[in-house]
Every structure is written in C-alpha cells, then in structure tokens.
Copies of this chain bind each other. A is one copy, B any other.
C-alpha cells in the first residue's frame, strides 16, 4: 500500500522505535525517499505493466558490444581497470566523450570534463559545492524529481519557473529573477532539462535557449543543463545545447551534464559533467570526497565501447524502438480515452508523455486503484517544487513492449475514465 498524500519513506524490514536521541543533521529534516523509486518497487509485481520508470528497455542493450568492450579490458587493460584511478576520470574516456559532445555540436576540452557516477552524482556535486542552506534555486515547473530531492537535501529554497508546451518560458524566468532582486536576493542556479525533458517531454526551442542564456549572463545565474535524452530524437531537427550557444563569457555560467545511462547502460553508472574553470576544481574536490572516483572498471568498459564505434548504430536501433513505443502509446490513448479527457504532449524524442486530466482530478488519489488494476504511472504532483498541478501525470513508454503499452493504456482508461 502506497502513501497517497506524500512521498513514502523506506522503513527497513525490522525497524525499531528510533532512539530518544536521533542526532540527524538538519539537512535530513526535509529529506524523503524518492517517491518515484518507491512506486517503481511495485513494478516488480507479476503482471504489472509499468509506465512509471524512465528506464531503458533491457532487451535493447547492446550486450554483444559491451561484451566485446569487456573482453578487451581483460585482454589489455585489466590492471588499469581493477586499480584506483584519478578523481576526474580516465583521460581516454574523456577524449571519447569530448568527441561525442562535438558530434552533438558542443565543443569541449576534455580537461573541463569530470566523470561522475551517474548524472545523479553530477547534480549532487553541483549542489554540494554551491549551495548553502536557504540559497535560491530555480526549477522548471514541472522539473526532474531527483534534482528536487537532491537540492532539498542541501536545504535550497526553490522558486518555480513556468513552462508551456515549448518548455521554460523566458519571461517567467526574468519575472522570478526580478522578484528575487526586489527582495535583495540572488538566485544561485537554474536547473533544467532542455531537450525531451523529464517529466514533460518538451524541448526548448533555439530562440528560447538563446534568451535563457542572455538572461543568465545578465543576472549572473548559473545554468545547470542536464541532457540525458538528446540523442533519443525520433523526429524534428536537432536543437543545440544551451552551452554550445555560449560565447567565452557566457560559458562561465554554463554547466552541462550528460550520461551513458539512457543511451548505453544505466548499470554502468558512467556520466559526465562539463564545468567552467572557476568551478571545475571545486567539483573535483567534492568528487574525491564523495567516492574517490567512478568505477575504473565501468569507465574502461565505457571507453572501449565508445572506441568500438557501435554507438551510432545502437542509437538508431533504440530511437526506432522508442519511436514505435511512443506512437503506440499515443494511438492507444487516443483510442481508449474519450476526446478531451486526457491532454498529452507529442514529444519529438525521449521516453516520456506528460498528461493532464480535467482540472479538479487528483492523479495521486488514483495511484492505488491503478496499481490494483495492474498498471502504474507517476502522478505529476511530486515533479513540482511549488503549487503542484494535481491533475497531471507522467507516462513512460520506454520499457514496456507495444503489446504491454496497449494493454496498459486499456487498464489506465478503466481507472481514469468514468
């Protein structure tokens, strides 16, 4: 049974009453287990169809390519791969990732790149290095839930920036920044997913990216651009990263993160972060302190995999499959839900549809009924740092098969359509 009104916590199997003296740090007061990860536990029940996770389809993993990469590790690099390594990451891996960034239209020097244990760690390091309790952080409405959770643990004060079907609205960003200035305060950073956003699926158009960058430079606001999904485009034209639009001065206000989790394997936990020179050394110190370095073994596998040159073909394969799954879900929703009951976006890539039911409907209150009916989704509320929209929900189409998507949407309609 899931808690319906607030994120659930994770009691260990044999919890005793806490001691009279529970000496937790203040930062843990607001800390809660990630609601999404709690919901995902129900996905393991037999017969459950999950639209909840932002998780790659395991049957699409390039197991053969990764096995070749690992064989090379054992043939040529075992002593390196099994040993401690530098906190900033393996030089050859960073070169390969800089080349990948170039193919995305962003020129970076490998020396500005820090290898992280998933982009989750990138978010944590940025927060650790920059945020004092009470510092203002700007987040899209809705925003990525784990970023919200992590920055909460650094006791940030959140301000929401409105977004529409084209993503973050630059005028809202300026309004929020001006409101901060009126209070005599400065916002420290804006965190956003500009391409195929989690959870909304939307992509910020070029002109808005340019405008966001101008505003950031004017207000000395650090942009933290999280980009796990941009290679998963199945229609429309590539939109350059915000970082790639920045000149040398503006680049001082840009942090960019990306990851192999959605395009190769999340189990490896290999991601990267690009930061300006003033910030980079402090992030490396934070990284040392956090886990010394990301698994050398996983880094060497990633490095060899990229060197094999199989990524482009693999991306074609997963793009085609996610496109098919996304289309299947859109068509099923159109078929199963009467016109006007559910409004969803039509994304050009990524893993998510974002939907709104009629105003007044509370998707959180439907979670348990939906689980009982064999399908799970994520209610939209927890994705908002303020004033949640209770009638919203996120549907992921990346993991279930097309047959499961059709059946899952039928089950969802049984719960959501009167």
Where the two chains meet, the residues of A that have a C-beta atom closer than 8 Å to any C-beta of B are 9-16, 18-19, 21-28, 31-34, 37, 53, 55-56, 58-59, 61, 63, 66-67, 70, 74, 78-85, 87, 109, 111-112, 116-118, 120-121, 124, 128-132, 135, 146, 149-150, 153-154, 188, 220, 222, 252, 261, 265-269, 277-278, 280-282, 284-286, 288-298, 301
B285 touches A12 (CB 8 A): no
Q: Name the contact of A280 in the complex, choosing from B12, B34, B111 (C-beta under 8 A).
A: B12
Please, which residues of chain B bring their CB within 8 A of the CB of A289? 31, 120, 124, 146, 149-150, 153
- From B61, B291, B293, B297, contact of A82 by CB (8 A): B61
In the bound complex, do residue B22 and residue A278 qualify as a contact, i.e. CB atoms below 8 Å apart? Answer: yes
Kindly list chain B residues whose C-beta atoms are within 8 Å of the C-beta of A252: 19
Assuming the A-B contacts A31-B285, A58-B79, are A23 and B130 also in contact, with contact meaning beta carbons closer than 8 angstroms in the complex?
A: yes
Report, nearest first, the 8 A-B pairs whose CB atoms are least far apart.
A267-B296, A82-B265, A58-B79, A117-B291, A82-B267, A269-B295, A18-B278, A121-B291
Bound CA–CA A82/B261 (angstroms): 9
A150, B290: Cα distance in complex, Å: 8
A55: nearest chain-B partner, CB-CB: B84
Is the pair A281, B10 in contact by a Cβ cutoff of 8 Å? yes
Within the complex, the shortest CB–CB distance from A346 to chain B, in Å, comes to 27
Q: Is the CB of B292 within 8 A of A109?
A: no
Question: Which one, B14, B28, B34, B266, contacts A282 given CB within 8 A?
Answer: B28
**Contact call B74/A15, Cβ cutoff below 8 A:** no
Q: What residues of B have a CB within 8 angstroms of the CB of A124 in the complex?
A: 289-291
Asked if residues B297 and A16 are in contact (CB atoms below 8 Å), the reply is: no
- State whether B301 touches A297 (Cβ < 8 A): yes
Taking the closest CB of chain B, its distance from the CB of A378, in whole angstroms, is 15
B55, A82: Cβ atoms under 8 Å? no
- When the two chains form their complex, are residues B82 and A12 in contact, meaning their CB atoms are under 8 A apart? no
Copy count, this protein chain: 2
Assess the B132–A26 pair: CB atoms within 8 A: yes
CB contact under 8 A between A277 and B14, given known A117-B291, A128-B25, A132-B25:
yes
Task: Identify 9 residue pairs between A and B in the complex whose beta-carbon atoms are under 8 Å apart, listed by A's number.
Answer: A12-B112, A21-B220, A23-B130, A24-B129, A61-B78, A84-B267, A124-B290, A268-B297, A269-B295
Residue from B15, B261, B268, B290 within 8 A of A277 (CB atoms):
B15
Task: List, in ascending order, chain B residues with CB within 8 A of A118's CB.
Answer: 291-292
Q: Contact between B153 and A292 (Cβ–Cβ < 8 Å)?
A: no
**In the complex, A291→B82 CA distance in Å?**
21
State in angstroms the CA–CA spacing of A293 and B295 once bound together: 12
Q: Which listed residue (B24, B55, B290) contacts A83, Cβ 8 A?
A: B55
With beta carbons under 8 angstroms apart, the residue of B26, B81, B120, B293 that contacts A292 is B120
CA distance A294 to B80 in the complex (A): 20
Is B288 touching A37 in the complex (CB atoms < 8 A)? yes
Chain B residues with Cβ under 8 A from A130's Cβ?
A: 23-25
Question: Which residues of B are found within 8 Å of A111, using beta-carbon distances?
Answer: 12-14
> Given A28-B282, A111-B13, does the pair A269, B293 have CB atoms closer than 8 Å?
yes
Q: A268 contacts which chain B residues (CB < 8 A)?
A: 82, 295, 297
